[in-house]
Every structure is written in structure tokens, then in C-alpha cells.
Amino acid sequence: MRKILILITVLVLSVTAAKAQDKSESSPIIAMRDGKVYAVSPEDGSSRLLADPSAENQEMVWFRYGSLSPDGKTLVYVSQSSYDTDPKDFISNLKLVTIADGTTKTVVPSGGVFDVPAGKNERFDLTMATWSYDGQRIYYFRRTISSVATTINKPTQFAYYDVLKDKHELVARLDPKNLLDNLQAVPEGIVMRWYSAGFSSTTTMNLYDPNNRMLKQIEMDFPYLYTLRDKDALYYTQLKDFGNIDYAVNAKTGEKQPFKSGYYPAEQSLMNGDQSMHVFTTQDDFNIYYVYGADYHTPITTIKNTSGLTYAISPDGQQLAYMIYDQGPTAPIQIMDMNGKVRKLDFEAGQILWGTTEYVSFYAPS
């Protein structure tokens, strides 16, 4: 009986691993090049066009963390007119692209306050479109931009689009003088960051729950850009000069706690975090990217870079796609496996996405 149970366990684990591998192999790399979006095969570099905003005389805003839905099936981006367009003709909306077939849905904020038209010499500008952690909402900012310098700025709308209900909801009205820093989905809701214009070093993080209630507001000097989480807590971090974590502040309670030496904010696969690659950077005279396996016992490689680097982790966390910009704004996509073996695809891109990820503290003693 014991042997049968062991055999069943092995089979289940094997099937799970196989599904994760299949997920990675079947999931294309989403690449941006020349203002167009492509689905690129991680196996042979073949590509297919997913989106071309220029066909509608519009431009695409760059991808960001949160552009890909948690299940990896749908891309959201902001498509808008060029900034020299007359305000009355300016368009800024959301585009939802189904990765499997390239089907695109245009989403325009509407209903209630969203139906109030822009004023004279004003236009609405969408920014930072970000999927929620459960994939049911897309959060965004909607700013009112005036072409007349003397116009008093109107509040920025912090809102979301409910994908299931096909409805827009207002979360909060924000002071337009404050500079928007980041939006990040977390299991508890959404973290919105901003800072005051000028020379202030203070960044404010607001944690909202799914009912649009602000759970906690916390101020920190020069916090790390992304919110970290583990099984017990959600927290913001302050880094030391080299890039390791100095201390953390609990996002829900505001409690400050020091960190032991050797911990870094690292990115890992959302789907397969325990077995994922972990990537973090340190700064000296140049950026150094450290790539580990599941823990510090499995270092894979380090990449020293002075010209710029972009990377994306595969859905199963077993591969890393990256580009080194040493010849211009685009570069060939390279794929690294868990053994550090690298192969180059015959496709150049300016930006890439692959699997959805999250940020955690990772122990990597020197």
C-alpha cells in the first residue's frame, strides 16, 4: 500500500511538472518593436503580429509590470493619439488583446463621472493600466491635461474597469499636483504610489482593498519601487546602497522591522514561485543582474551590464528571456535555462513580457 501511495505521489508531481513545462513552451513571449506587438515563439523565434496601433493612427504606451493578466492570456495597453493632436480630437483608451488569436477589444471609460466631457482645450489621458491580482479588474489613472498653461488642473481619476461586468468604477480623486509613481496589484487589492512635486524624497503608498477602501497610507524616503510579499505579510522596503534590504514596513500595519543581512528584492514566477528562477540587481559602477534558481544554493549566473538590460521570466519560472541593448533601442531576445545555457532567437525587440511575476525577499549571502 505504501509503495502504491509513493507511486501515485510521484506520478502527480510528474504531471504537475509536465503541465508547468507545457505552459512555458506554449506561452509566447510578448514583444514590442517599432510600436507594434508580436507574439514570439520561445522555441524558434518565429513571430506573429498581435497589435498595430498605427493602423488606427495611434501610438502605444510602453508595457509595464501588470500589463499581462495573471493567467497570461490577455494583454492590456494604452493606445492614444500623438501629443500634438488637437485636444478635441485626442483619443486615449485601453486595448485588451487576447494572446491566443490577437482578438482586440477597445475599452473607453464610460458611465457616470466618465461621461462628463473634457473642457475646452482639455483632453483625457490614461496611464498605468494594471491588472488586478485576480484578473477581474484593470486599474488605471485618468488625467485631465490642458493645452493652456494657466488652466487649473482638475483631479486625477483613479479608477478600474471591471472585466466581467464591463463597467468602470471610480476609486478616488487625486490631487493633480502630485506625481504618480506606480500601481501594483497585490492579493489584498492594489497599491498606489505617489510623491509631491519638487525635491521631496518622500513617497506615499496607499493600499486599497477591492471595496475601494484605503486600508493604510504609509510614507517612506526612497522606498524600493515594488511591494514585496511573503506568506505572512505585504511590505515596502528601504534598500542599502548596494541593493540589499535594509528594513521593511508592513503595508497593512505600518510596523517597521529590520532585515538580516543578505536579503534582496527578487522577482519570481507567480505561477511557480517555489521552483522559479529568482532575479535581482545590485549597483556598483554598473548594474549586476543575479540569476538564481529556487534558493541561494542554486546560483545560475550573473550578468554585468552598462548599456541597459530588460528581462522576463517564463510562466513556469524555468527560463529567462532577456535583451542587452548594446547596439541601439532594440536587441535580440536571448533565452537562458536553469543550467545557465543561453540561446539567441532571431528576433529583435525593444521590450518584452512573458509570464506574470511577483516580488519577494530572497536570501543570497555573499
Q: Are strands 29-33 and 36-40 parallel, antiparallel or unpaired?
A: antiparallel
The pairs formed by 229-237 with CB atoms below 8 angstroms and a separation of 24 or more are 229/186, 229/187, 229/358, 229/359, 229/360, 230/360, 230/361, 234/186, 234/187, 234/188, 234/207, 236/205, 237/265, 237/361
How far apart are the C-alpha atoms of 188 and 209, rounded to whole Å? 6
**Residue 58: half-sphere exposure toward Cβ, Cα within 13 Å:** 18
How far apart are the C-alpha atoms of 225 and 281, rounded to whole Å? 13
The model carries a pTM of 0.90
**Ranges of residues in the chain whose predicted pLDDT is under 50:** 1-24
Whether 359 and 229 have beta carbons less than 8 Å apart is answered as yes
Q: What pLDDT score was predicted for residue 199?
A: 76
Q: What pLDDT score was predicted for residue 19?
A: 44
